[in-house]
Chain A
Amino acid sequence: MKQQLTNIWKDWRLHAVVLAIVLVTEIIGTHSFNVGPGVVLLLPMLYAIIIGLALFFTPVIKEKQSKNAEPLIVLGVTVLIAKIGVIIGPSLPQIIEAGPALLLQEFGNLGTILIALPVAVWLGLKRESIGMAHSVAREPNVGLIMDKYGFNSPEGRGVMAIYIFGTVFGAVFMGLISGFLATWTPLHPLSFAMASGIGSGSMMAAASGSLVAAFPAMENDILAFAGASNLLSLSTGLYMSIFIGLPLTERLYQLMTKKKHSTSVRKGA
């Protein structure tokens, strides 16, 4: 964010394209359809990311625009965080009241290990599974894995795979499943609001945005809880991985592969 900012504001082509995308997507507006008992919400922001990606492959967007877009995501997320700050402020008494839930649900981020690690091992992935499943693979977690295992290690390849998926499809995926799960499961929208804060600004925006669209009456509580949880995830995520996530993943991986190994030996005998 230091030097590369120079003269990005002059990239009128980039800003004009984004304005055009915003106009088109906001005119299309929000649409929803039912899948069984759940509701899938199609929000303007979801069309926006897909149109933006599609335009990258046309002559409208060149390499330069794509590079210049990055600092604008950072600044845009800054405005979003300011907006969430002024939503959290008035809700501070409720947030303090919900403090225990907010703090403890951070441990829910370890759910990645319980669900994704067995699947990864079952699919036949080796030590890549450790990098993949130990966390939700945002920047601090990628840094940790690179630091510990190196960029060219299987663990490093694993964490990069999840990081790339999250970067490309994280927001779309979270936006779709949060509205769907909140309408389909009996869990309360505020629980999903807290779960939306997984440490990525765009994923949190997509997930909580879908929740607001599905439950407009709870808008302020949803955004305050999601925002507070996201800030907590940002500040605790790395330590969660260092002290609990990664050691636990290592241990479980050893346990699972040992078991697998011994059954295959038995089969062979």
Chain B
Amino acid sequence: MLKNVQEWVLLLGIFGVVALIGNWVGYEILPTAAVPGMLILIGICLAGLILGDVLPGSLPSIAYVALVGVLLSMPWMPGSDYIVSATSEVELLALTTPILAYAGIAIGRSWTDFVKLGWRSIVVAVCVMLGTFLGSALIAEAILKFQGII
């Protein structure tokens, strides 16, 4: 457990540094402005990961991470203003770029499987993605319209 926490801290720290540099280069937010927000995000991750580890039940750690984040930033929570303003200095797209860079490197190993798929599988896969995306969007549109939200 302690060894795991140590590894989490180190890896989250590396990820945080890479993301902060991307945040600076791509979105012109100085690391000095974004460091507190990044530290808060990493703290939320650690709290969620540790909760997922020690609490019984089969909920994935990621559910606890989201829950901790939501609880800390709810309007009714004291100090939530600071958490929201500090973390808003970390751009979402500055987090996704390093994630997808790591993902690109990792999926290289699936490439040979991918090449074997054949064109019919690829056509069906495109339909699967379009199907879920359009299906959900159409239902959401109808209900949001009905409720008068959009």
Contacts and interface: CB of A to CB of B under 8 A. Distances in A.
B83 interface: yes
A248 B109 CA distance: 34
Interface residues of A, number: 128
B139 A49 contact: no
B15 A79 contact: yes
Nearest to A225: B140
Contacts of B55: none
Contact of A195 (B48, B74, B137): B137
B36 interface: no
Chain A interface secondary structure, helix, strand, loop or mixed? helix
Interface in A184-235: 187-188, 190-192, 194-198, 201-202, 205-209, 212-213, 223, 227, 229, 231, 234-235
Contacts of B92: 80, 83-84, 87, 205, 208-209, 212, 223
A162 B36 CA distance: 40
Given A29-B26, A65-B105, A165-B117, A89 B72 contact: yes
A231 B63 contact: yes
B2 interface: no
Interface string B104-122: 1111111101100100111
Chain B interface secondary structure, helix, strand, loop or mixed? helix
Contact of A191 (B16, B87, B141, B147): B141
A24 to B, nearest CB: 10
B54 interface: no
A9 interface: yes
A255 interface: no
Interface string A223-261: 100010101001100000000000000000000000000
Given A111-B131, A136-B129, A92 B75 contact: yes
Contacts of A61: 105, 108
Given A21-B104, A82-B41, A223-B92, 8 more contacts: A22-B22, A75-B8, A82-B65, A88-B73, A167-B107, A187-B137, A192-B137, A195-B132
Interface of A: 1-2, 5-6, 8-9, 14-15, 17-19, 21-23, 25-27, 29, 43-46, 48-57, 61, 63, 65-67, 69-73, 75-90, 92-93, 97-98, 100-102, 104-116, 119-120, 123-125, 129, 132-133, 136-137, 161-162, 164-171, 173-174, 177-178, 181, 187-188, 190-192, 194-198, 201-202, 205-209, 212-213, 223, 227, 229, 231, 234-235
11 contacts: A70-B106, A71-B11, A75-B45, A78-B45, A89-B72, A101-B149, A112-B127, A167-B110, A187-B137, A192-B133, A195-B140
Counting from the closest, the 7 A-B pairs by CB-CB distance are: A85-B69, A111-B135, A52-B104, A56-B108, A89-B73, A108-B136, A26-B26
